[in-house]
Amino acid sequence: RHKEKWATTAPRIPSTRLALHHFDTSYSLHLGALWPSVRAGLLCEQKYGALLNNFAAADLVPQELELLSATDFISEASQKAQQWQRGAAAEMSPPLCTSISSKIKCYTFPRGDISRFRPARPDSLGLLDYYLMDAASLLPVLALNVQPGDFVLDLCAAPGGKTLALLQTGLCGHLAANDVSISRTKRLYEVLHSYVPKEVRDTVSVTSYDGRDWDRVKGDTFDKVLVDVPCTTDRHSAMEEHNNIFHKRRTKERQMLPMLQLELLMAGILATKPGAELVYSTCSLSPLQNECVVERALDIAEAQFNIRIHVEDLSHFRTLFQDTFSFFSDCRLGELVLPHLTANFGPMYFCKLRRM
Ligand code: SAM
């Protein structure tokens, strides 16, 4: 009895502190000397990007943002790639140019500038002019490199930032946006209604399946698959008590994350057509949730399904986007954006796979 009373009155350790303790232990090993600066970034206000809504009548918005000295980091990168193509580094350029979809426009403030964007505004039809998101979240979408008419699956889609970016390409033949959470799927619907006209919304099918069962719904039918899995959302876990996965009550759920991520990635692989491509992404720095999940999936695909997977090289992303993001240079597979005080985006891990 005595023990029980003690248990209920003992001060609870904040989940954010548990998260930081966990990060200090594991990331100082993984990131070494970089960890203190990444940690400082995680604990400071994050930077946003303004993803322009091509469906809104908002012609003056680019001019307005440029007056504030924000720039579209994607068109800047593609201009840089074109210059390289003409110049000395021509041998590096083919992947540089082909990998960027110029229809996606996202404004960011320069390195070291911590200005904030005004809230989005509606046009005369009520469509909002931009969507504020972590600009690093666009990198997995750019890596997917959607081509005209592609059938695209966004397996864990809510609240819909990346779904919206996929639609901004104007290239999806069909987009399947799925998320197991009914409440988060509601937010996805809200995003679609606020940003996308009805005729484009009609090309999107929104579902709420458990993504792990996707192959029972539809097998290998997609040209492009995005698997943006649930993870320890490191920035959120270090800063917010609400809905924190480091809460003592959620220990089991947290420990099971790599297994859930692996199952979702496997379902994504099985959803791709032979020859088609997939991007796996998380907003965590954890190698257990990033590279280890990918490595394990490659083994299982080969051993259990006789599917060979090629890991695509994305190192040119580091060159292209180095002015906007801080990248970790030691990933074995995929790329990782590290938070940094002068470019406080991420974390964002992304890895591109091709089913052979
Ligand atoms: N892609 C989204 C975006 O850009 O706005 C963010 C996705 S969030 C990182 C991960 C999502 O996975 C959550 O919305 C969560 O509800 C969903 N999820 C968790 N378990 C799932 C499962 N078994 N099947 C499908 N979705 C799942």
Q: How many CB atoms lie within 10 A of CB 9?
A: 7
Q: Which of 106, 172, 231, 283 is catalytic?
A: 283
DSSP state of 314: -
CA of 227 to the centre of ligand 1 (A): 9
Alpha-carbon span 172 to 192, nearest angstrom: 15
Q: How many CB atoms lie within 10 A of CB 119?
A: 9
Q: How many CB atoms lie within 10 A of CB 126?
A: 9
pLDDT at 9: 62
pLDDT at 217: 73
Residues 6 or more apart whose CB falls under 8 angstroms from that of 196 comprise 55, 127, 164, 167, 204
Nearest CA to ligand 1 atom 17: 156
Q: What is the pTM of this model?
A: 0.95
Specify the 3-state DSSP secondary structure of 88. coil
Q: Are strands 335-338 and 326-327 parallel, antiparallel or unpaired?
A: antiparallel
CA of 123 to the centre of ligand 1 (A): 30
pLDDT at 156: 98
pLDDT at 95: 56
What is the CA 198 to chain-centroid distance, rounded?
25
Alpha-carbon span 37 to 240, nearest angstrom: 20
For 54, phi then psi, to 5°, come to -65, -15
Q: Which residues pair with 281 in a beta bridge?
A: 228, 350
pLDDT at 101: 59
172 given a catalytic annotation:
no
| Tokens coding 125 | 């039809």
ipTM of the complex: 1.00
Q: How many CB atoms lie within 10 A of CB 74?
A: 27
CA of 238 to the centre of ligand 1 (A): 20
Alpha-carbon span 183 to 194, nearest angstrom: 17
Pocket lined around ligand 1, Cβ cut-off 6 Å: 137, 156-162, 179-181, 184, 210-212, 228, 230
Which regions in the chain score pLDDT beneath 70?
A: 1-11, 88-101
| Helix count and strand count (H, E) for the chain | 16, 13
Q: Which atom of ligand 1 is nearest to the CA of 160?
A: 5
